[in-house]
Amino acid sequence: MLKVSKVEILRTIAQIHAIARTTVREAIQEPVAFLLLLTAVVTTVMIPLFQFNRFSEEGRLARDGGLSSMLIFGLVLAAGTAGRAVAGEIESGTAAAVVGKPVARATFVVAKALGIFQVVLIFWCGQLAAILIAERISAHFVITDNFAGYVTDRFTLIFSAGALLLTLLISTLAHFIRRKGFGAIAFPGIALSQVVVVLASGFYNRMGQPYYVFAQAACDCGDAAHHAAGGIIYSPELNLRIIPAAILILFVLAIIVALATALATRLQSGAAMALCALVLIFGLAGDVLTVNAALFSPRGVLAGVLPDIQHFWLCDALARGGKIATAYLFEAGLYALTCCVLFLTAGCMAFKNRDLG
């Protein structure tokens, strides 16, 4: 029976932590990572300015558009980072040097996947904050003592844009004055700036009136609820039902990270990204492609191998006040974890016999 000592376990954990930390530090300094996050955030926040139809629901276009950007830009970030962190290091010989330390090949693959997921997690936090901001900025029907009508929250838009500009300014000054890496500050800084805007938006209503001054909420609710809202100081007027839908997309991105890491052990970055995109497309169209398919037919085999991404894309479930059940999140999380384990196991097996010379 194989026995593993406590010292070996601790050494493996330390190796995983060191490799993952190095992967994060190198990945966020890549200009592509910064540009993907900045583009996703700016695109999402700007959606309400070009909204000419509410689609029978306030903020729906901003919500669905932001979640779509989270999925697409997150896929490109995950697959691209995996290509550079795994395939790039194999080609340059860095992987051979790391594995010869000695570091087990499975440890190397798992650590790389964890580091890439941390980068994606930072992106996800920033994009989720941008979606909440965009949904709040969108035109909502507001009732106050002196006004009733649709209002676009331009104050939060200004704060969000100002936070982005301030982050870019600080990153630029740190780069030229302190010789700090621009991406190392700008990438997490953009995500943090939007989170700060989300938290700060709870101190004023959609008309820009501070609660501590006006002591009332400009809310999209009835008269009775509006008068009951008096006397508050902090009230985040955010559509928090978006968070479970975003968590499901995070599960998809975790699957993409595991798949891209496994593919990068044998393929170049471009090929791995293309295959990840195909998995996403077939996964979203899984029910249509595999309906009434025989068990051992090509379509049946495809349905059994590819993850069903439709289980994670539930934007329509939020329509007209809908919610995603917490139990469903746990079930989807277990499904995503299973997919990640399978993909990483396949990646470790593929990397085990890879010639690194």
User: Is 185 a member of any domain?
Assistant: yes
Q: Do you know the residue count of the chain?
A: 357
- Given this model, what pLDDT does residue 225 score? 44
- List CB contacts of 210: < 8 A, sequence separation 6 or more: 203, 204
* Alpha-helical runs (H) found in the chain: 6-28, 31-46, 60-82, 88-92, 94-99, 105-137, 154-177, 182-200, 211-214, 223-228, 242-264, 269-284, 286-290, 298-305, 326-352
CB half-sphere exposure, 256, CA atoms < 13 A: 34
Q: Which residues pair with 150 in a beta bridge?
A: 141
Looking at residue 208, its pLDDT comes to: 75
End-to-end, the C-alpha distance of the chain in Å comes to 33
pLDDT of res. 218: 45
Q: What does the alpha-carbon distance between residue 243 and residue 253 come to, in Å, rounded to a whole number? A: 15
State how far the Cα of 242 lies from the Cα of 66, in Å rounded to an integer.
10
DSSP secondary structure string, 126-179?
A: HHHHHHHHHHHHS-EEEE-SS-EEEE--HHHHHHHHHHHHHHHHHHHHHHHHS-
Domain of 227 in residue numbering reads as: 6-352
357 belongs to a structural domain: no
In a domain, 16, yes or no: yes
Q: Tokens in use for 352?
A: 């085990």
- Give a yes or no: residue 47 inside a domain: yes
User: Looking at the domain assignment, is residue 1 inside a domain?
Assistant: no
Q: How many domains does the chain have?
A: 1
Residue 201: closest CA among 120, 132, 276, 126: 132
Q: Is residue 29 domain-resident?
A: yes
* Structure tokens, 199: 């938290």
The answer as to whether 210 is a domain residue is: yes
Secondary structure of residue 323 in the 3-state scheme: coil
Whether residue 281 lies inside any domain: the answer is yes
- pLDDT means per 10 residues, the chain with 357 residues, are 71 89 92 93 90 68 90 93 87 81 86 95 96 88 71 88 94 88 91 95 82 56 47 80 94 95 88 87 71 63 74 83 90 94 92 77
| C-alpha distances out from residue 25 to 19, 55, 162, Å | 10, 42, 26
pTM over the 0.85 mark = yes
